[in-house]
Amino acid sequence: SFVLIRFSLAARLRDSRDSHLSLTLLSLPRASSLATRTVPRTPFENRAVAAVPGRSACVQALAADVAKVSFDGAASGTAVLDLKTASPDVAKGLVHKYVVMVRQNARRGTASTLTKSEVRGGGRKPFKQKGTGNARAGSSRTPLKPGGGVIFGPKPKDWSIKMNKKERRLAMATAIQSASGAMIVVDDLAKVATPKTKAMGEALKAWGVAEGEKAYLITKDASANVTLATRNMARVVQTDITHLNVYDVLNADKVVVEESALQYINDFYGAEGGAWA
């Protein structure tokens, strides 16, 4: 049992004397509903490591076999995707945090409205103060009138948020590894000789991208022909390895990766890659 100190305010006396504060000491059993129980805390060394992304206890290396095809669509074996990823207990929250950052940082924040003091006109009093029967008014640009200012309207704002670099890289590696089941490796995308949308559509179909599926095309280096051939395709997003986007990786039905780009991704996001230096 323990001692609970309770403060109670006594009722005002009938003879108008001042009220007083009485201090009551109650001895209550531990099982009482009024008892304040202290939950034992987990030792710091047992809980901190498991909750912080980026430490050895919460990352693991996973390897997956990815289908590999030639530029013509013929099967040519498999490739290996082996990246350092977040452990399952933190992966979902980490990737979600990165997606929120990417989407929020894309906001321009340029929405702007004019307040009563900024809108043009309204300097003259519209009518005299008394004698008209109208409510008194000092300006024709009051927010109560058409053409007036806006009350608490949007103003330019910086919506960007920050995230640690190693957290971002771990989230990206986790997202790419999670897309291994929908990934297709093409030996060389530089064989796109002419920037023709029709030819690119036929190539995507040969690689296994069905009509209506969203595809994310990743090349090793920026290719003008690939960019021109895909820019008119509503469901195809093309980029190089220096401009990977976690949202596009997760949003795509198929991720088409050039073989040289996959090698760079393995080297950079692997267990001993430069992303963690």
Where residue 63 sits, what CATH number does that domain have? 3.40.1370.10
Q: What is the pLDDT of residues 130-186, one digit of tens each?
A: 999 999 999 999 999 999 999 999 999 999 999 999 999 999 999 999 999 999 999
Neighbouring-strand partners of residue 65? 80
Q: Is 80 exceeded by the pLDDT of residue 64?
A: yes
Specify whether 211 is located in the same domain as 248: yes
217 vs 97, 171, 186, 259, CA distance in Å?
Answer: 24, 19, 10, 12
Q: What is the pTM of this model?
A: 0.71
Question: Residues with Cβ < 8 Å from 134, sequence gap 6 or more?
Answer: 127
Structure tokens at 34: 């009024």
Q: What is the pLDDT of residues 28-42, one digit of tens each?
A: 344 444 333 444 444
In a domain, 33, yes or no: no
Specify whether 194 is located in the same domain as 263: yes
Q: Is 118:112 a contact under the CB 8 Å cutoff?
A: no
- In total, how many domains does the chain have? 2
Q: What is the pLDDT of residues 215-260, one digit of tens each?
A: 999 999 988 889 999 999 999 999 999 999 999 999 999 999 999 9
In a domain, 44, yes or no: no
Q: Is 90 exceeded by the pLDDT of residue 62?
A: no
Q: Is 83:265 a contact under the CB 8 Å cutoff?
A: yes
Specify whether 240 is located in the same domain as 252: yes
Specify whether 247 is located in the same domain as 265: yes
In a domain, 272, yes or no: yes
Specify whether 86 is located in the same domain as 209: yes
In a domain, 123, yes or no: yes
In a domain, 95, yes or no: yes
Task: Domain of residue 152: give its range.
Answer: 110-158
Specify whether 202 is located in the same domain as 269: yes
In a domain, 9, yes or no: no
